[in-house]
Structure 1
Amino acid sequence: MRLRQRRVGVGMTQEGLARVIGITFQQVQKYERGTNRIVASRLLDLARSLGVTVDYFFEDLPDHALRGEHCPGPGEGADLPALMAERDTLILVRAYHRIADPDVRRRLIDLVKSLGTT
């Protein structure tokens, strides 16, 4: 999920990322879906290509996930990471951070909150 989030965040396609690290875009798809595990050397390639450290992919993971224990599924607290990986969410966040005026940012947050309650 973090792989997709970063790739979309920097405006790179699956094909572009695959080309940079020398794999097929289908392999990138499998990594992003969690179908295939990412070996350490490939994770390092991905991190370098996306301009982050390997630690980026492990930030904000709950302690139980780092220990290999049960990770929450849908409805168990996993909703926020899934929402953050959606393309529209990333577009909205990038646009929000380009707003220089803090008052405009606050008004935008208030507007979005009010629309979400209807």
Structure 2
Amino acid sequence: MARIGDRDGVDIFVGARIGLRRSALGLSQTALAQQLGISFQQVQKYETGQNRISASRLHRAATVLGTSVESFFPPVETAAGRSDDGWSGLRAITASVDGRAVAAGFPLIEDREVRRAVARVVRALARDD
């Protein structure tokens, strides 16, 4: 992953995944910060990739958020240079507050047909016609 200014692309990706998981669970940055023993401002800095999160704190965050540490990282490219293209879409959607809200809310829509309809609307709005 490329560097963006002084920030590493992996740090940004990890932070965005933390924020996405936190939002999906309905936790505020303050609530997560309290469970990690840090300030909510530090959580903000992690989620934007402004600050790197240490391995021990990342492990604690994964425990608090009920997921694995690996779930926060992008796939490792193979020797052939291929990785899962779905991750680029995830990076794009988690790059904005609105995208994270959509990503967090989508799995909470219980009706399968409603989810399909929302997906059709998003695809239609995203077309470059």
Report the TM-score when normalising by structure 1. Answer: 0.68
In structure 2, give the amino acid aligned to 1:105: R
Runs of 4+ in 1 over 2 A off after TM superposition: 77-80, 84-118
1:37 paired to 2:84: no
In structure 1, give the amino acid aligned to 2:120: D
Partner of 1:63 in structure 2?
A: 76
Is the contact between residue 46 and residue 53 of structure 2 (CA under 8 Å) also seen in structure 1?
yes
Partner of 1:105 in structure 2?
A: 115
Pair 98,43 (structure 1): closer, same or farther in 2 beyond 3 Å: closer
How many residues end up aligned between the 2 structures? 105
Partner of 1:23 in structure 2?
A: 38
Gaps of 5+ in 1: 67-76
Gaps of 5+ in 2: 1-15, 79-86
Two-structure CA RMSD over aligned residues (Å): 2.7
Pair 20,88 (structure 1): closer, same or farther in 2 beyond 3 Å: same
Partner of 2:68 in structure 1?
A: 53
Q: Which has the larger radius of gyration?
A: 1
1:47-84 superposed Cα distances (whole Å, 9 cap, x missing partner): 111111212112xx2424x9xxxxxxxxxx85541313
Between the aligned residues of both structures, percent identity stands at 41
